[in-house]
Each structure stands twice: as structure tokens, then as C-alpha cells.
Amino acid sequence: MNTIHLKAPKGWINDPNGFIYYKGKYHLFYQHFPYASRWGRMHWGHAVSDDLINWKHLDIALFPTKTDDSDGCFSGSAVEDNGKMHLFYTGVHYTDIDPENVNCSLNDSFISAQLHISSNDGFEFDNFNEKKTIIPPLTNREIGDNIHTRDPKVWKGKDGNWYMILGSTVNHVGRVLFYRSSDLLNWKYMNYASCDNMGWMWECPDYFETDSRGVIIFSPMDEKKGNQSVCTLADFRESDCHMDINKNLTYLDYGLDLYAPQSTTDKNGRRIVVAWLRMPEPMKNNAIGLFSMPRVCEVRNNHIYFRPYPEISEKFTIKTDMPDMKKPFMVKAELAEHKSISIGGYIIRRENGKIITDRRAVIKGHEELLNICETPELKDGFSLEIYVDENIIEVYVNNGEYVITNAVYDLNDEISTDENTEIYVLEE
């Protein structure tokens, strides 16, 4: 069992995969290298939850068995159809293997195909007999790349067809590809979408509608800006899979530690998103990687909000002055201009109409990282809801107008706040 934040059980984890509410449980799969706290030949780890608060780790769900996924089961998604769970993922086959670490290829020498596997109950996956390649490595370089085409996200369209969005690249410009299927197994390439100056390859794209607006989230790889997850409004037309992407992109999270987010709908039909927290070093259990809390994604006044998941917020009911720093707690604060609070050495202050965070004291030896972060200028107030756990702090500003999330290590026992601050711990 884990609380609030799903953490790597051992080894390494990255992207959330196959996030779905299925037969009364939330399933969250994830990129996983179980043998060491570093990235390697990818498996799909698997955890389930009844409430998105308490998680149970299960056995590994997907692992390499076929030529097309011999060197990794990369990211992908899940849908339910006729009671079955259908998983879509990218199979990777190395063409040149690193002789010193066979879990990695040399200089991106691999090819990528898209695969499908289904399960009758969401717990048993027949890796030997049930996998099928549904999109072989691309051969038309004007459509997409045979190496860098990955991370299928599938959804059901209003017309009853299934749609898939894939990340790709052509001529060093990132793009998304759209495929359509009527039966989840036979897929036809339909169209692509892109926009200028947004990185050379787009990882982990996700498209959905919320509040009657289309939203696209993706993670552009960019040599100058680094790889960061962005979101924006988008209009998708099913008839020809044409997408207009609004150029006004914002970061999913202004801490810039979160990456590769994935969304699903919760049991109440709300659009929720989780993302991988990139960590510079392992946690106390020697494993590396954890996930953000689920966030509710909403669009209001053309702005994309990521607010704390209400069923989690409402569990923080017990007021205290001295929380146990090893357990999750939540701080509510209203910050006046030039004022700051400190949580275990992590500083949050308001300056020039922005919220600024400073984690230098709780991530020692990592000067190379972005350790001082800020929101864009705020117009609607400065109320904060801050969720603190051993290795992660999530600062929600104005109920999700912006969020800053950071990896932290060794928080100290001191909390300095002011009279406008309240601290809550979880009810038993």
C-alpha cells in the first residue's frame, strides 16, 4: 500500500501508462525497469486502487516476448470494450545493442511498432499468445519516423470509431499522427498535426474533451528548452482527423519536474491526469520515480486548470501545528505580496504578482536543475493548497490555475507560516 503518491516499488519507473477505471478499480500501469534504479529495457509495472489514494502494486503486466517488443514495452494507453481491457503500447526492437549494457541501444538504434494486447479481467495478461502488432514500423518517412513514433493513446469517438494519437517526427519537427479503427485491431493512418517551434519529437500525446473543449497534452523533446510537458486547446474533427492546435501553449506544471502525463476519466466522469515526477536520485527505498496526485483537468475562460482531486483533498481533515514530516500533509495558505512560507526548507513566496518556489535547501548537490520556479503573473488571487509528501511537494495556486511540483529530499522538521496558514493531516 502506498498513500497519495504512487511510488516506485523497486528499480526505476517513468511514464504512467494504461490509466483506466475498469470494472470498479483504477488501474495504473507504468514504465518500469525492475532490476536497477536506472532506465533500461522497459516493462509495464501495474498498480490498482479503489479510491486513487491507496495503491497496491501487482506483478509486472507486460514484458518483452516478441521480436517487435524484444527490447521494451514503451508507453501506451488502455480502453475498455465489451468488458475486456485493451492495452496499446509501443514495442521497441534494438538494431544495435550497447555491449556494456544490453538494456540500452547504441545511439538510438532501434525501430518502433505499435502493439495491442487484451485481457478479460485487467489482471492477467498473456504476453506469449495475446500480443499483436497493429502498426508495423513506419516506412513512409513523410508520415512519421520508424524510430521515433510512439506512445499510442486511444479513445472512442463520437461517431463510434476508435481513434489513436501517436507522437512522431518528420524532418526534425515534432508532430502527432492520427489513426482510426472500427474494431481496435485494424488501424488506418488518417492525418497528422503539428505546430512551429515546439521541439523535434513529441512524446506521450493525449487528446480529450472536457467542459466541451478539446485539450491536447504532449511532451515535446527540445534540445534548447529541455523536454517539458505542455498543454493547449485543440479542435479535432473526426471526419478527416484534422486538428487545429492553439498556439497559446502553457506548461502542464511550472515546476518542470513532471513529464509524460496521461489522463483518463474517473468513476464520476471527471477528466483526471497523472504525471511522472522526474527525480535526480533514488528515494530511501533505493527506487526512483513517483507519480503526481491525480488532478482534475477543467477548462474555464479558455484556461486549462489542474485542480487537486477533491476526494483526496477532503481526506485532509485533521488540523495540526506539527505534522509528521514523513507522512503526507496539506497546507492551505493565502500569501500577501513579499510574504513567504517555508515547509521543511522548501520556500514558497509571493513576489511581483507571482508565486515563486525555491527548493535549493532540499535538493542539495543538484545545482544543474531548475531549483527556483515561478508561475506566470496571477490575476485571481494567491491562495495556495500545498500537498507535501516525503519526496514531492505540489503547490496548487488558485485551485489549479497553475501548479508547481518539485522533487525534494530530506525535508527538515521546521515549518514557518503565518496567521493565514492552516495545516491538515489525513483522517485515520
Binding-site ranges for ligand FRU (CB under 6 A): 14-15, 31, 42, 74-75, 90, 150-151, 203-204, 259-260
Give me 263's grid cell. 489522463
User: Which residue's CB is nearer to ligand FRU, number 204 or number 348?
Assistant: 204
Closest approach, Cβ 427 to ligand FRU, in A, equals 35
Residue 312 backbone dihedrals phi, psi, to 5 degrees: -85, -50
Closer residue to ligand FRU (CB): 33 or 346: 33
Q: Which of 254, 259 has the CB closer to ligand FRU?
A: 259
The three cell numbers locating residue 60 = 509486472
From 244, 202, 245, 247, select the one nearest 220 (Cα to Cα). Answer: 202
Return the number of the residue (75 or 405) whose C-beta is nearest ligand FRU: 75
Q: What share of the chain is helix, strand, coil (3-state, %, to 5)?
A: 0, 55, 45
How far the first Cα of the chain sits from its last, in Å, is: 15
Least separation in angstroms between residue 76's CB and ligand FRU is 8
The amino acid sitting at 282 is: P
**Residue with smaller CB distance to ligand FRU, 17 or 313:** 17
Q: How far is the CB of 194 from ligand FRU (least distance, A)?
A: 17
Catalytic choice (15, 71, 151, 358): 15
Name the one residue in this structure whose C-alpha cell is 469517438: 157
Shortest CB 170 distance to ligand FRU, Å: 17
Any idea which residue has 495503491 for its cell? 55
- Give the nearest distance from C-beta 130 to ligand FRU in angstroms: 20
Q: How far apart are CA 424 and CA 328, in angstroms?
A: 9
Strand partners for 97? 105
CA distances to 257, 364, 376, 407 from 280, in Å: 10, 11, 25, 8
DSSP at 418: -
Cα gap 322→319, rounded to integer Å: 9
Give yes or no for a contact between 113 and 95, defined as CB atoms under 8 angstroms apart: no
Nearest distance, CB of residue 191 and ligand FRU, angstroms: 21
Beta strands in 238-328 (DSSP E): 242-245, 250-251, 258-265, 271-277, 290-291, 295-300, 303-308, 316-320
Please, which residue, 125 or 316, has the CB nearer to ligand FRU? 125
Residue 380 annotated among the catalytic residues of the structure: no
**146 in Cβ contact with 112 (< 8 Å):** yes
The conformational region for residue 345 under phi > 0 = left, psi -120 to 50 = alpha, else beta, is left
- Using the minimum distance from each CB to ligand FRU, give the nearer residue, 261 or 328: 261
Q: Is the CB of 72 or the CB of 214 nearer to ligand FRU? A: 72
Closest CB 222 distance from ligand FRU, rounded Å: 13
Pick the closest to residue 62 from 48, 72, 50 (CA basis): 72
Q: How far is the CB of 13 from ligand FRU (least distance, A)?
A: 9
Rounded to 5 degrees, what are φ and ψ at 23?
Answer: 45, 50
How many angstroms separate the CA atoms of 79 and 86, rounded? 5
Give φ, ψ of 313 to 5 degrees. Answer: -50, -45
Residues 6+ apart with CB under 8 A from 58: 46, 47, 48, 123
Q: Which active-site residues does the annotation give?
A: 15
